[in-house]
A and B are shown apart, each in its own frame.
Chain A
Amino acid sequence: MMNLIALPVSVQIAFMAIGGLLALASLISIALVRAKPERDYTELRLRIKTWWLIVAVFAVAVLFNRTVSVVVLGFVSFLAFKEYLSLVPTRRADHRVLFWAYLAIPIQFYWVWMGWYGMFIIFIPVFVFLVLPMRMILIGETQGFLRAIGTLHWGLMITVFGLSHAAFMLVLPATVNPAGGAMGLLIYLVFLTEINDVAQYLWGKSFGKRKISPKVSPNKTVAGFLGGLLTTTALAVVLAPFLTPLARYEALGAGGLIGLGGFVGDVTISALKRDIGVKDSGSLLPGHGGILDRLDSLTYTAPLFFHYVYYLHY
């Protein structure tokens, strides 16, 4: 069970700070509703309420024990993959192949739970990659084969392989990270990824002019991207000693990676949505859209940041 005394002080402070930030956001939104009753803030209010829920789920995912963490993050991965499959075209003939693809999720998170790095890192890119086409061939439908296997594997890579890196951070040896403990790295990654999203949005709204990718994501501007990158990098350097084993100069790289990776992940999911012709990836998170709308940046930052830290310290 959760034992608050055993949590590193920095982790306790981190959660208090996140709670404080959200409380502030809630207060501001309530004040806005009072001050300008003529404008509609339903969407903003809904968005912040859902943030509370996301933080609560995240707290459960990191604060209890390894089994709870792996189950919760595995379930998040399942939701993301399900949302992806509900969005993209699938062939009726692949019904059983899709079932096999779903099976990859519990297996991948079982490797995480075991802490078996070698298997965790090749299971989806090698074994699942080779087995799913075989399963498809046993059914024998060749019309649309490449498209079907391509969309399926890309989805698994993004929503299962990529996101399982977030879970693997929790099973890395805590002794390497005395300041942040077992959960420090993940809190650092998720906090910076989300702050990066918010900072890019705010900088873009305030100073953005030149569009960075007008065809994919018309709201993304150069100023938003650079402002977000700088904010994230600065915060990364400030927070690193409390939550990670990274030295200050190493944190500079981590911040840059999260800022850049977060942006690319965001526009990649945007490109997917634009290709399919939907505005949101789903409707699971009121005020945000689907779960992929929220996890888009993390699908890139989780593996990138993981391997950066893993190479340097583990």
Chain B
Amino acid sequence: MLRTLFYLLIVRPLVLIVLGINVRGKEHLPLSGPAIVVANHNSHLDTVALMSLFPLRLIHKIHPVAAADHFLRNPVVSWFAIHIASIIPIERRMRDKGNDVFVPIIEALDRNEIVIIFPEGTRGEPEVMARMKNGIGHLLSERPDVPVIPVFFYGLGKCLPKGEMLLVPFFVDAYIGEPLYWKGGRQLFMNNLEQTMCELQAQAVALHKVQDED
């Protein structure tokens, strides 16, 4: 309830009025779980912008995967992360101990929920895709039927870059690609995902550009 109100009264006005978001490929957005949405990560706004694209009635079924060491570091941030953002906390440093870190994500998928993952792991330079981590490949090998929907945001890194507290409004573009499916093989999937993200990024940069027309 609190969560829905937060999205209705704070996140939506912020994203729709202060920023303004222009979505292409909205039909690819999953309206039921299980599904994994992956996006590039440049700003804390990425999560809220992504959440604002979904209908309000789905908000309680969507969970961003986030770093436990960052978001559970103090009681206030932690309360907000768990009750409002409804994150699935994972330990970044424990990854080499096996697949256990992914258990809460797999459980969420098994409950038919929608999981948001930023495969770059951390917020990078604005509008630049860093190399993606392999975690999503592991996840999919466990649940091969789950569709993966790639989203590329352009502009959020300018609105609220890493290390800034002050939000500056810009129009933002969101490009949602067709769902990707597991075809056997982590490397195959990761290559596929990287390529799709690169294509969406290229669209973001090139879509407005025209050669000679008024």
Contacts and interface: CB of A to CB of B under 8 A. Distances in A.
A185 to B, nearest CB: 29
B166 A86 contact: no
Interface in A277-314: 277-280, 282-284
A202 interface: no
Interface string A261-284: 000000000100000011110111
Interface of B is mostly: loop
Contact of B209 (A86, A278, A283): A278
Residue of B170, B209, B213 most packed against chain A (CB within 10 A): B170
Interface stretch (A14-22, A91-99, A109-117, A188-196): A91-99
Contacts of B171: 82-83, 86, 282, 284
For chain A, the bracket of interface size reads: 20 to 34
B161 interface: yes
Contacts of B161: 92, 95
A102 B126 contact: no
Contacts of A278: 208-210
A277 B210 contact: yes
Contacts of B168: 95, 98-99, 102
Interface residues of B, number: 18
Describe A's contact surface by its main secondary structure: helix
Contacts of A98: 168
B170 A82 contact: yes
Contacts of B22: 282-283
5 contacts: A82-B171, A85-B169, A92-B158, A218-B212, A283-B22
Interface of B: 20, 22, 126, 155, 158, 161, 164, 166, 168-171, 208-210, 212-214
Interface of A: 78-79, 82-83, 85-86, 90, 92, 95-96, 98-99, 102, 217-219, 270, 277-280, 282-284
